[in-house]
Structure 1
Amino acid sequence: MTIEEEIRTIQEEIDKTQKNKATMHHLGRLKAKMARLKDELIKKAMSKGGGDGGYSVKKSGDATVTLVGFPSVGKSTLINKLTDAKSEIGAYEFTTLDVIPGVMEYKDAKIQILDLPGLVKGAASGKGRGREVISVIRSCDLILMIIDVFNYQHIQVLEKELYDAGIRINQTPPDVTITKQIKGGITITSTVELSIDEETIKTVMGEYKMHNALINIREDVNIDQMIDVIRGNRVYIPSIMVINKIDLVDKEQIKMFPKDSIKISADRELNLETLRDVVYDQLGFINVYLKPQGESADMEEPLIMRRGCTVGDVCDRLHKDFRRKFRYAKVWGESAKHAGQRVGIDHSLEDQDVLTIIIQK
């Protein structure tokens, strides 16, 4: 039996099993086994061809956004309208056969946008150059999921392909830590009441041959989330759903799409300014002003960083040696307890902070 056949067999058993407390243990084992097999399938697809034919994309700018969608949904037109890219446009499938990068300059930020070849059903397991496309998506900061207004059903298929590839859109990592031990079995501590019982957790752990560990759970999680934590290879990326070609349908047809999706016409340039705003806001940019020691801060050209960044992140952006030579920093602004507070490399910065970095000579 092939891996694909095993996965189908397990899925059929999951589908016919009633979901209740009595079957939780059994479902946990099935889901863990299926997740392990899917990972094997993806690993096998990624290793085909000895790694040749992959996409080499150098990240640049203040953040990277990927356009994800089926062939011929208008990704090439959109990137050409938003950026300085020149992506070939054609009224047929698979026009884009490589990754086309472009840069959107907006509100002082330089946002790299990547036009990828269209995903197809089965991309997560390597179909249609899916392994190369997925590898680029996994490293981006934001996904724009482009949906053709005539193909509502593509939403579910795209979400499934991303999920099967270990990409969790619009989710945060579960607040669970697993510390492997040499002996002692599985010890579970929790600060919240759990929906899954300890025996189910132990069964899932056993499926991955983990029999000795300390598990600390600080939020209620389901079986799928627990499997994600155990695997440790999931990526959590925000996503914006973009409905394209709205100029070709009436308002009633548009209403069937999620309210929080952005409805545009790339060809007619409808609502592109709204899309730019939403992309900028979703990326969570902040302005950090640099102040050389003994001089005034440069308030004209801020350093564009991401929300949650640290002094160390700024060091990395400025020069490859700054982190190694770092002594201390001084901060003025919202993140400081007082003006000119002396802070370390792990200090978290806020929007509009002024920063001085002191390095070894």
Structure 2
Amino acid sequence: MELKEIYSNAREKMKGYCRVCPECNGIACAGEVPGMGGAGTGASFKSNVEELKKVKLVLRTIHNCKNPDSSFELFGEKLDMPIISAPITGSSFNMGGALSEKEYVDAVMEGSLEAGTVAMTGDTADPSMYITGIEGIKKVNGKGIPIIKPRENSKIIEKIRLAEEINPMAVGVDIDGAGLVTMALKGQPVGPKTVDELKELVKSTKLPFIFKGIMTVEEAEIAVEVGAKAIVVSNHGGRILDHTQGVAKVLPQIADKVKGKITILADGGIRSGIDVFKMLALGADAVLIGRPVIIGAYGGYSKGVETVLTNMKNELIKAMILTGCKDISSIDKTKIVIE
């Protein structure tokens, strides 16, 4: 399946929800939430993309890195690439509903696995969507990760218990969802967490725990302190708070403090394998991909997702060849400059 065909199909199926722009930069869809845009003026979404543009690769071709190894290990699972499908829910109200929630989850789970990686699933005000995600992970023998909204701890722990029944790779909470008013309006309140509440969550399960939505050094250090195994440096795709910094801006500061102490994932504005390379050079261990995976699912179901992710992996490998990186651990700040 060709990318051109995938994008054409997605543009038709998502009409009114996503324009499938030649450059997915948050300009045309600013303020379209629900939908695919960023909150308010869309500045946070735009910042994710613009900050990555400031990072330039250093071209090197006199070396022996002819067949780079793009593999990455996450919680004991070897993946073909340091690229993971992000937790996204709400096919009906965010993407137009041409795919049901079940169809979307199945497409992403299966397509990610076929591409040699895994996917995360999400949580919304509709409790059935979390269950759909859990069922999708079960179908791929637990090779997935459910992410839960920052509800009351007792409610989160209930959802962790449901996850434990299917033995996923890990479990997590997207703590940056704390300000989602729509959750409260539908009787599913969310909010910030204290350090003690975070400790309670981590201790409630033997599964590796992830906190998604870390944007400061201080909160990254707290995640290490409470025993989390991974963080996702993310501003929720620019969808929860207007005028936040771009992920690529804060990532190096966070990596300087906690790299090696915790797995660092980065999420925001990543549109190509080149962007993946940039995030790794800035300090991430791996990345999450959101909007491009949605387009893959809507444009070609599981085959579309597989094609989008495989294309990113191939772009990453090409960048590794042309910068002299034999493996993922070789990608560091010496391979980039920031303008």
Instruction: State the TM-score, normalizing by the size of structure 2.
Output: 0.28
Higher relative contact order (Cα pairs below 8 Å, separated by 6+ residues): 2
Instruction: State the TM-score, normalizing by the size of structure 1.
Output: 0.27
